[in-house]
Homo-oligomer: A and B are copies of this chain.
Amino acid sequence: MNWQSITFDWNQARAFLVTAEEGTLSAAARALGLTQPTLSRQVAALEQALGVTLFERVAKSLVLTEAGLELVEHVRTMGDAASRVSLSASGQSQQIEGLVTISATDLMAAHVLPDILAELRQKAPGVEIRLLCTNSLSDLRRREADIAVRHVQPDHPDLYARKIREAPARIFGARSFVEGHGRKLTRADAPTLDFIGFDNNEELVVYLRAFGLDVSEANIRLSSPNGVVAWELVRQGFGLSIMADEIAARFPGIVPAFEDVDPITFPIWLVTHRELHTSRRIRTVFDHLAEGLLRVRPERRAR
């Protein structure tokens, strides 16, 4: 191998890659946790080292030259390989200290995970946990999270998934809302009731119909993509919402809405990279989450 040809500064190549992808030096600096002057100098130094003008300094932002356009392809290959280096290294790492990022819905993050993670803090004090609230499945494969708590079965072969259990869910509302009608609510009342929406109202209607409720999107007059906010609206009596029993049980003012509606169940999956599952740190957190999520059960038996 001829090493002479790779003696240019690889960190400058990284600076170039991120700048090209992000579009501006400032954005690249933010993404890399460096400062804009540093990126500016690194890109300029790479241009000088390679003898190629990579960016056309036009007006506000930078635009790739033809040469830069061709070079960024190869640098992107470097970046992809670097990503695999990082992934594989995380998987190989046998040290327990360090950061683990967990992706979960905001409701899980706010109401279910804290207790479980508090125990983990005792068991593994060196582990630092970051809770990422997102409903996207791709954050694992984009390596924005190490472990994800999901409610659908992932099918990508790179992912390792374990089904924890099925969890019951039903429709809940504030006691004031549910009992404010002077009589027990039944599914026949559904068309006239307000429901709180989350992210996707269409999808929510489908779920509600699965309960046997005759509702449409017209029944959703208040919604928030933030689940914790939406749940707060429920608590304050603005409407009804589907909720996992075990979460609803944590709120004394919350009661099941309908007399005659059976709970449905949804799965809880724990997912990680196949490669990351060999890491001692990831494994520790994964196993603790699995055990903790299995143990969480509604504290009261409804009905």
Contact = CB atoms under 8 A, between A and B. Distances in A.
Given A10-B14, A98-B51, A85 B89 contact: no
Interface string A54-97: 00000000000001001100110111111111111110111100
A121 to B, nearest CB: 20
Contact of A82 (B13, B83, B95): B13
Contacts of A74: 81-82, 84-85, 88
A89 B33 CA distance: 27
Contacts of A33: 7
Contact of A50 (B2, B75, B80, B93): B93
B51 A6 contact: no
B71 A75 contact: no
A251 interface: no
Chain A interface size, as a band, is: 35 or more
Q: Which of A86, A88, A142 has the most CB of B within 10 A?
A: A86
A142 B82 CA distance: 23
Nearest to A16: B85
A21 interface: yes
The binding surface of chain A is classed by DSSP as helix
A134 to B, nearest CB: 12
A217 interface: no
A92 to B, nearest CB: 4
Contact of A89 (B31, B51, B93): B51
A51 B95 contact: yes
A90 B70 CA distance: 12
Q: Which of A67, A74, A87 has the most CB of B within 10 A?
A: A74
Interface of A: 1-11, 13-14, 18, 21, 31-33, 50-52, 67, 70-71, 74-75, 77-90, 92-95, 98, 142-144
In the A-B complex, the 4 residue pairs with the smallest Cβ-Cβ separation, listed nearest first, are A10-B10, A51-B93, A50-B89, A77-B81
Given A6-B86, A9-B11, 4 more contacts: A6-B79, A11-B11, A50-B86, A70-B88
